[in-house]
Chains A and B, each alone.
Chain A
C-alpha cells in the first residue's frame, strides 16, 4: 500500500505491507531505531512516539493508520537545524536527573513525558506516576524519571516551552 505521512517534519512516501506495524516502519524502513519493541502486548511503552502530538504505542498501530498524520520520534524532538548538542527540555531533565540507565525504555519514556506535560503542564508527583504507568523501566525504579518530568515541567514553565513542538501542537 502507498503510505504518505510526515515523520519528524519531513514528508514521506513509501510502499508498505498493510500489516506492517508503525514501529517496524520507523525502525526498518526509515532507519529510525530509537523507539524499541519491549513486549507484544502494548504493556511496556518502549515504542512510544507522538502521532499528531499525542503519545501512541507504535507497536499497536499499523503504519497505514498513520497515513496523513504527523509522527514525531525522539530523533525529531529537537527540530532539524538546531545547534549541535541541543536537547529538548525533557531530554535535558532526563540527563540532569539521571532518569536513564540502560537507555532502552528512554526514547519511549521521553516521548510519553513530552505528551504528559503537553496535557498537564503542572503535574503532581502522583499525576506523573499515573501518567507514566504504561511505560516500564527496569533500571531506575522510576525515582529519577519522575524527578526528571517534574524538573522538565519547571524548566518548560520558565521559558523552555518554545523548544517544545509537541506541547504547542496539542495546545494549538
Chain B
C-alpha cells in the first residue's frame, strides 16, 4: 500500500497483516519446524515425569532403558549436579523452597521431571521412557488452600511452613474499617486455576559451538529475558548463550523466561556433544507448563443502604504450586489494583503465597490483574444484591470521576487518565441495558425454565510497567537500505500480535517507505542483545514508540547528510514523505532520497524510548447469558465491551487482541478449570479432559470504541493485550449469578458449571 501525504495517515488504519501469507500457505516456522545445518543429526530429549504428587524418590533404575534401541543416554539429577539450584527469586521468600532441573530426592507435583532419556529417533524415546523404573515412597499430598495454610503436611519439610512469602500484613488490618457501614457483605471467592494452553507446546533445539557457546532456539516471549533466565539455570554468563526465537504459537504469559526443561536440553547437547531437540506432548504441557490464576480471595465490602460503598477489604491466598515461579509475584499485581475503578474511602488488602503439591503457577494473560478485578466486581454485585439496587447504578455511584491528571489509587498505582463512568454508560447503551432488564423481568414473571442474566464489569489495569530494570523502556533500530527497503530491529517479541505490520506502519509513516518494503527482525540475542520482550501489554507503547522515535531520529541524521550532499543548509531542506527523500526549498532539482543517502553511508539509528511510567487502560464489559434452571447449562449469548486503550494504531490488530482476551476471560468464568483430586492427581491433563473453550461456546463479540489517549508516549497508546481477559471474566460470572438472583442465589464460583449452578439452586442459602 502506497502512502502519500495527500492520504490520511496510515496510522489508525486497518492495514492487513504482512505476516499472514506465510502462515496461510506454508505455515509458520515454530521451534519444532526449525531446519538449520547446525542441528543436523540432533538427538531427541524426553523427560520421565513423576506420576505421584508428593513422594521420596527411593531409587531410579535406568538400566533397561539405557539398553533399549536408539538410546544415547539416560540421566538423573546426580548427572546434572553441575547445574545450580533454582532458588526463590526474592530474599523475602522462604529459601528452603528451592528447585532443581530434575528432582533430586523428592518429587512435588505430578509431571515433575525425574529423569532424561535421549534417543536417536523420536519414536524410540517414547518407547524407552516407559522402561525407566523409578521407586517412589509416597508422602501426604498438600492440595488446596486449606491444606497448604494448615501446615500439617509440608511440601518442603525443611521450610517449616508452606508459606512462601507475604505481601502486606493481614494482622495489621484496621478492625474499625467497616465502622459506620449500614451494610457489610463478606464471602470467599475462588479464582480458579486455569491452563494457559497455547496451541504450540514447549519446544526447542540446542547446539554448542566450538567456541563453547550455546545456540538455542525455543518458544518464548522475549529472547533477551529468556537468555538471562537460562543463564541462571545453567550457571552461565548471558553472553555464552545465543537465544533465537522462532515463530511462537501463542504464549499468554506462560512462555516468559526459560523453563528448566530447556536447561536440561542444553545440558544434554553439551554432554553428548551433538545437537538436541525437545518437544513436549500436550499431556506434559498440561502437567508441567505453568498454570495461571489459582487464588482464593476473601472480600468484604461495606457501605450505605443508598448505594455508597465506604469500605473494602481483600485478602488473597495465592497457590504457587510445587515450586515458586512467577505466581510468587502475582498477588503484588492484584493488591496494586485492589480498588479498581472505584472511589472507596477506606480499603486495605494483603496476600499470602503458599506452595502445594500441584503444577507451579505462573503468569497467564493479565497476571494478577484479572484476579483483582474479579474480586471487586463480584464484591460490588454482592453489595448491590444486599441493598437491592441495580448493579450498574451502584457502579455509577461509586466510580472515580473522570480525570486527566494522574490519580493515586492508594495502593501504589498512579492511574494516568480515565473515564470509567463514560465507559460504563457506553457499554450499557450499546447493549440496550434497559431492554435487557425488561426481558429479564418478563421471563422471571413467566417462570421460564431458561432465565436471562445480565452481568456488568468495570475495570482498570496496569500495562507497560517495564520488563527490564529502571523506567519502562524499549529499544529499536531502523535502517534504510540502498534499494529503498528498510529493516527494523525490535526488543519486543511478537507471537501473534502483528508487530511486523504495526512496527512497519510506524516507520512507513515517517520514512515514506511502503509497509511491504519494511522487514521486522526480533528474537536473536546476537543481533538484538537487549529487549524486554512481549508481555504485560507493553509492546506498542514502548517498542512501537521506540520505532517511531528511531524513525524520526533517522530523518534528523539523514537531513544533515542530505545537506552535505546537496551543499545546502539543513534548515532549507524539507523531507518529502511521498518520495522518501529531501528537497531544497526553491531548487526543484536538488533532491536526494533516503535510499541514495544509504548508498553513500550506512543509514541506521538505534534508540531507546523511555516512558515516564505505566499506563492504565480501562473499560466496561457486559455479558448476557441464558441459564437453564433445570440443567444448569449456561449459554453466553452476548459480550458487549468497551476497551479504552487510547489511540488505536491498527484497529484490525487491536480488535483481534480484544477478541482473544474476551474469549479467554469468558472461558475462565464458565468453562475452564484445572482440577486435581485430593491426592494431587491432575484430572485435566489432556485436551480431551481440560475443557478448552471452543467456537460453539462463544458468540461473536460486540466491540464499542472509546479512546482516551495517554500522554506517556507520543502515540497516545496504552496496552490492549490483556484488557479483554480482565473485563470479561467478572462480567460473565456476574451475569450467571444475576440470572439466578431472584431464586435467592448470591454467588456461584467459577467456572459456573451445570453442577455448581444445580447446587446453588438446590441450596441458595449456601451462596450467601
Chain A residues with a Cβ under 8 A of chain B: 17, 19-20, 24, 27, 33-36, 38-44, 46, 74-75, 77-78, 85, 87, 91, 94-96, 98, 100-107, 110, 125, 128-130, 132-147
Contacts and interface: CB of A to CB of B under 8 A. Distances in A.
Contacts of A141: 659-664, 698, 701, 724
B226 to A, nearest CB: 17
Given A19-B123, A40-B283, A102 B20 contact: no
B686 A34 contact: no
Contacts of A85: 21
A125 B199 contact: no
Given A40-B283, A101-B660, A106 B27 contact: yes
Contact of B496 (A24, A103, A132): A103
Contacts, number: 181
Contacts of B55: none
Contacts of A105: 199, 249
A24 B44 CA distance: 15
A132 B696 CA distance: 8
B24 A100 contact: yes
B708 interface: no
Contacts of B26: 33-34, 74-75
Nearest to A77: B25
A110 B696 CA distance: 17
A8 to B, nearest CB: 12
B27 A139 contact: no
Interface in B11-34: 16-17, 19-21, 23-30, 32-33
Contact of B247 (A35, A91, A103): A103
Contacts of A110: 24
21 contacts: A17-B123, A36-B27, A36-B199, A43-B692, A44-B687, A74-B25, A74-B27, A91-B24, A95-B24, A101-B497, A102-B198, A103-B249, A104-B250, A136-B694, A138-B252, A138-B660, A138-B692, A141-B660, A141-B663, A141-B698, A146-B700
B33 A133 contact: no
Contacts of A96: 16
Given A100-B23, A106-B23, A138 B250 contact: yes
Given A34-B27, A139-B660, 16 more contacts: A20-B123, A41-B687, A74-B25, A94-B24, A96-B16, A101-B496, A102-B28, A102-B198, A102-B250, A105-B199, A105-B249, A128-B695, A129-B695, A130-B696, A138-B198, A139-B250
A139 B200 contact: no
A145 B695 contact: yes
A96 B29 CA distance: 22
B655 interface: yes
B540 to A, nearest CB: 15
Contacts of B252: 138
A87 B664 contact: no
A98 to B, nearest CB: 5
B72 interface: no
Q: How large is the interface on B (under 10, 10 to 19, 20 to 34, 35 or more residues)?
A: 35 or more
Contacts of A104: 28, 30, 198-200, 249-250
B653 interface: yes
Interface string B483-513: 0000000000001111000000000000000
Nearest to B286: A39
B39 to A, nearest CB: 14
A139 B656 contact: yes
- In this complex, which of B30, B686, B695 has the most chain A Cβ atoms within 10 angstroms of its Cβ? B695
A107 B33 CA distance: 14
A44 B305 CA distance: 50
Contacts of B20: 94-95, 100
B660 A140 contact: yes
B201 interface: yes
B281 interface: yes
Contacts of A143: 659, 663, 698, 700-701
B688 interface: yes
A98 B656 contact: yes
Contacts of A39: 282, 686-688
Nearest to A94: B24
A78 B16 CA distance: 20
B558 interface: no
A147 B249 CA distance: 21
A130 B697 CA distance: 9
B655 A102 contact: no
Going nearest first, the 4 A-B pairs with the smallest beta carbon separation are A141-B663, A34-B27, A104-B249, A101-B496
